[in-house]
Amino acid sequence: DTEVTQTPKHLVMGMTNKKSLKCEQHMGHRAMYWYKQKAKKPPELMFVYSYEKLSINESVPSRFSPECPNSSLLNLHLHALQPEDSALYLCASSPNDYSNQPQHFGDGTRLSIL
């Protein structure tokens, strides 16, 4: 059982839709992450939140908008996405963003843009 829960597991949306991905953890972790993984490629970091504040944005297009409403929740708001944004979106968490502690991943949301 993964301790990082992502919903929905699958999402199909048109290029004009607005949708949100949700990530939740109850391990008391204070750092949370969004990654994007294309088929047969490694995960690529998108955003890092530390103590509910955005600390890293890896030059992600503004059609992706992260939000961390509290220490347990992380959202990724999607708007006007392109077909090339179809991918597996992974959320991860770790106790903090500076010590030698591993990140724990959810099972991801598989996103398809029509």
Partner 1 sequence: DQQVKQNSPSLSVQEGRISILNCDYTNSMFDYFLWYKKYPAEGPTFLISISSIKDKNEDGRFTVFLNKSAKHLSLHIVPSQPGDSAVYFCAARAPQGAQKLVFGQGTRLTINP
* Alpha carbon distances (Å) from 90 to 16, 93: 23, 10
Indicate the residue among 37 and 75 with the shorter CB distance to partner 1. 37
Q: Is 30 in the site for partner 1 (CB under 8 A)?
A: no
Of the two residues 18 and 41, which places its CB atom closer to partner 1 in the complex? 41
* Residue 46 · residue 58 · CB < 8 Å: yes
Instruction: Decide if residue 33 touches partner 1 (CB under 8 A).
Output: yes
Q: Decide whether 39 or 82 has the Cβ nearer to partner 1.
A: 39
Partnered with residue 13 across adjacent β-strands are: 113
What is the per-residue burial (b if ≥16 Cβ within 10 Å, else e) of 72-103?
eebbbebeebeeebbbbbbbbbbeebeeeeeb
Strand 10-13, strand 109-113: pairing = parallel
Q: Select from 48, 68, 76, 87 the one that contacts partner 1 (CB under 8 A).
A: 48
- Contact flags string 79-98 toward partner 1, x per CB under 8 A: -----------x-x-x-xxx
**Binding residues vs partner 1 (CB under 8 A):** 2, 4, 6, 31, 33, 41-45, 48, 50, 55-56, 90, 92, 94, 96-98, 100, 102-108
